[in-house]
Amino acid sequence: MREVRIDPSFESWQSAARSLLREGISPDEVQWNDGSIVQSSLLTLSAPRAVEPVTEYRVPARFVDMARRAATNADPQRWALLYRVLWRIVRENHDLLDVERDIDVARLNELSQPTARPFVPQTQSVDALREAVKECRGCDLYKYATQAVFSRGPQDARVALVGEVPGDQEDLRGAPFVGPAGEVLDRALAEVQLRREDLYVTNAVKHFKFERVGKRRIHKTPAPVEVAACRPWLESELALVRPNIVVCLGATAARSMLGDQFRLMKQHGQWIESRWAPRTMATIHPSAVLRADDPPMQERNYAILRDDLRKVATELLGS
């Protein structure tokens, strides 16, 4: 048995695992210590038995992605699990990850679920969250976007607007609602006399999701798993801001915050008491005005947005 000391990071585990694999040290012969084991049991360890070493091997890129995510989990058994799966991929079955009923694969799937949680600091400051989100690797969206786009607006705002995901311009400029959809939002806010600088404006998902069509980057709706992965940021920021009113902009934000049963076109503009704020409402996303098929539909969508926001302004005046 060999005790292997590593830092609690994917890179440290990966470097150690490569050496062990090359030496032919099987998972049963390894005790991993990432510093969380206070008292080492080194004295009870004997020299590990080695089997035939492997010098050349390839692992699926998917395993590396999953291992990187699982490494951020707090489960103390994760290093042993990762090495066991790696060993089995190299020595038993290159396609092991396809065997979903396999007990190790099932556990790895659990541990590698995308989530921002390990990256969200305990803090009383939205600015600290804004800084920390730059390092988030909670799902794969960070790989393709220019930067994380966090909120704008004061921490003591009484109203929070929650959109879906940054768009092309937001991604480039690093701020929410600064592109064409932001212009529509600003027009509606001005009409109902709400000042953007008084509002806390954020998105449910912090990295731009898109597909390339020629030179253009076309917005894509984030998948439920990506919305769920990003949710710890939204929970933390709204817990700090504690707005009286939350407005979900669009169906993605509405379903994420008010449940899958929420029907935007039927229930928009209705006040709901939610865990997010005493008064919560959903309305149409400003980009729905831009994407409407024809001018009458654009006008209709804009009127929904403006009239729902007017209810917010009226509520603020009365509170």
132 near ligand SF4 (CB under 6 A)? no
205 near ligand SF4 (CB under 6 A)? yes
234 near ligand SF4 (CB under 6 A)? no
- Only segment of 22-30, 88-96, 129-137, 249-257 that touches ligand SF4 (CB under 6 A): 129-137
116 near ligand SF4 (CB under 6 A)? yes
| Amino acid symbol at 65 | D
208 near ligand SF4 (CB under 6 A)? no
Work out which of 133, 194, 228, 246 binds ligand SF4, going by CB under 6 A: 133
What is the distance between the alpha carbons of residues 24 and 26, in angstroms, rounded to a whole number? 6
Work out which of 70, 86, 141, 201 binds ligand SF4, going by CB under 6 A: 141
- Only segment of 12-20, 28-36, 139-147, 193-201 that touches ligand SF4 (CB under 6 A): 139-147
212: left (phi over 0), alpha (psi -120 to 50) or beta: beta
- Only segment of 13-21, 91-99, 201-209, 249-257 that touches ligand SF4 (CB under 6 A): 201-209
138 near ligand SF4 (CB under 6 A)? yes
230 near ligand SF4 (CB under 6 A)? yes
219 near ligand SF4 (CB under 6 A)? no
Task: Judge contact between 286 and 303, C-beta under 8 A.
Answer: no
Work out which of 83, 142, 210, 302 binds ligand SF4, going by CB under 6 A: 142
Identify which of residues 27 and 167 has a Cβ nearer to ligand SF4 in the complex: 167
162 near ligand SF4 (CB under 6 A)? no
Helix 78-91 and helix 103-111, axial crossing angle in degrees, nearest 10: 130
Residue 138 C-beta: closest distance to ligand SF4, Å: 3
Identify which of residues 30 and 230 has a Cβ nearer to ligand SF4 in the complex: 230
- Only segment of 80-88, 101-109, 134-142, 289-297 that touches ligand SF4 (CB under 6 A): 134-142
- Only segment of 141-149, 280-288, 290-298, 305-313 that touches ligand SF4 (CB under 6 A): 141-149
69 near ligand SF4 (CB under 6 A)? no
What is the distance between the alpha carbons of residues 245 and 208, in angstroms, rounded to a whole number? 26
Work out which of 139, 189, 194, 241 binds ligand SF4, going by CB under 6 A: 139
227 near ligand SF4 (CB under 6 A)? no
DSSP states of the chain: -EEEE--SSHHHHHHHHHHHHHHTB-GGGEEEE-S--SS--GGG--PPPB----------HHHHHHHHHHTTS--TTHHHHHHHHHHHHHHT-TTGGG-TTSHHHHHHHHHT---SGGG----S-HHHHHHHGGG--SSGGGGTSSS----BS-TT-SEEEEES---HHHHHHTSTT-SHHHHHHHHHHHHTT--GGGSEEEESS-S--EEEETTEEEE-PPPHHHHHHHHHHHHHHHHHH--SEEEEESHHHHHHHH-TT--HHHHTT--B--SS-SEEEEE--HHHHHH-SSHHHHHHHHHHHHHHHHHHHHHHHH-
Residue 257 C-beta: closest distance to ligand SF4, Å: 15
Interaction site with ligand SF4 (CB under 6 A): 116, 133, 136-139, 141-142, 148, 205-207, 226, 229-230, 233
